[in-house]
Amino acid sequence: RLEDTLAVIKPNGMEQHREEILQEIRAGEFSIMQQKEAVLSRELAEEFYREHRDKPFFSQLVDFMCRGPCLMLVLTKENAVEEWRAMMGPTDPSEARQAAPDSLRARFARDVLENSVHGSSNAQHARQKIDFIFGEIGEENEGNVE
Ligand code: CMP
């Protein structure tokens, strides 16, 4: 059964590894059903990561996510949530390099904050975040989200 997930290429991924990451997505046979490149506003980044608002790294995370363009993608395939998480590897690249050396984070993350890509953790979150991102960001705002 086909499933959707939300993938985000974060600012450091966009700066240095955008084409390689997109190539991996295509090689993984995900269908890219929607995509949007945008510089996130603080408000949008804070809302997107609201689950993490009490974490000590929250303000750093929001600063990082707003520092340049992100590419947000709706990826569709069978078992897309798990497949994309497996392709990303663990959150922390030092763990990723041990556990999943071919993963995107093992290869392209700078550190646990600038870990190059994001993916939804389950199908319900995927639906919520897809609705949030692709509902909030109108076509007319492409490239500069207020
Ligand atoms: P992501 O999977 O998008 O979800 C939350 C993000 O917070 C995570 O990727 C990292 O970018 C960041 N993050 C998680 N843990 C830490 C940490 N210990 N220090 C700094 N940033 C973190």
**Going from the N-terminus, what domains does the chain have, and what CATH number goes with each?**
2-133 (3.30.70.141)
Determine the Cα–Cα distance for residues 17 and 27; give it in Å rounded to an integer. 15
pLDDT by position in tens, the chain (length 146): 899 999 999 999 999 999 999 999 999 999 999 999 999 999 999 999 999 999 999 999 999 999 999 999 999 999 999 999 999 999 999 999 999 999 999 999 999 999 999 999 999 999 999 999 998 544 444 444 44
Strands 2-9 and 31-38: unpaired
ipTM score of complex: 0.99
Q: Can 118 be counted among the known catalytic residues?
A: yes
User: What spacing in Å lies between the alpha carbon of 91 and ligand 1's midpoint?
Assistant: 7
State the SS3 of 28-96.
CCCEEEEEEEECCCHHHHHHHCHHHCCCCCHHHHHHHHCCCCEEEEEEEEECHHHHHHHHHCCCCHHHH
**pLDDT number for residue 141:** 45
The one-letter amino acid at 96: A
Q: Which atom of ligand 1 is nearest to the CA of 52?
A: 5
- 25 and 79 Cβ atoms separated by less than 8 Å: no
The one-letter amino acid at 22: L
Measured CA to CA in angstroms, residue 91 lies from 57, 117, 135, 137, 146 at distances of 14, 9, 27, 26, 28
User: What spacing in Å lies between the alpha carbon of 96 and ligand 1's midpoint?
Assistant: 13
**pLDDT number for residue 135:** 86
Q: Which atom of ligand 1 is nearest to the CA of 57?
A: 20
User: What spacing in Å lies between the alpha carbon of 16 and ligand 1's midpoint?
Assistant: 19
Angle separating helix axes 80-88 and 123-136, nearest 10 degrees? 90
- 90 and 59 Cβ atoms separated by less than 8 Å: no
Strand stretches in the chain, DSSP E: 2-9, 31-38, 70-78, 117-119
* Residue whose CB lies within 8 A of the most ligand 1 atoms, among 113, 122, 125, for a mutation test: 113
**pLDDT number for residue 136:** 53
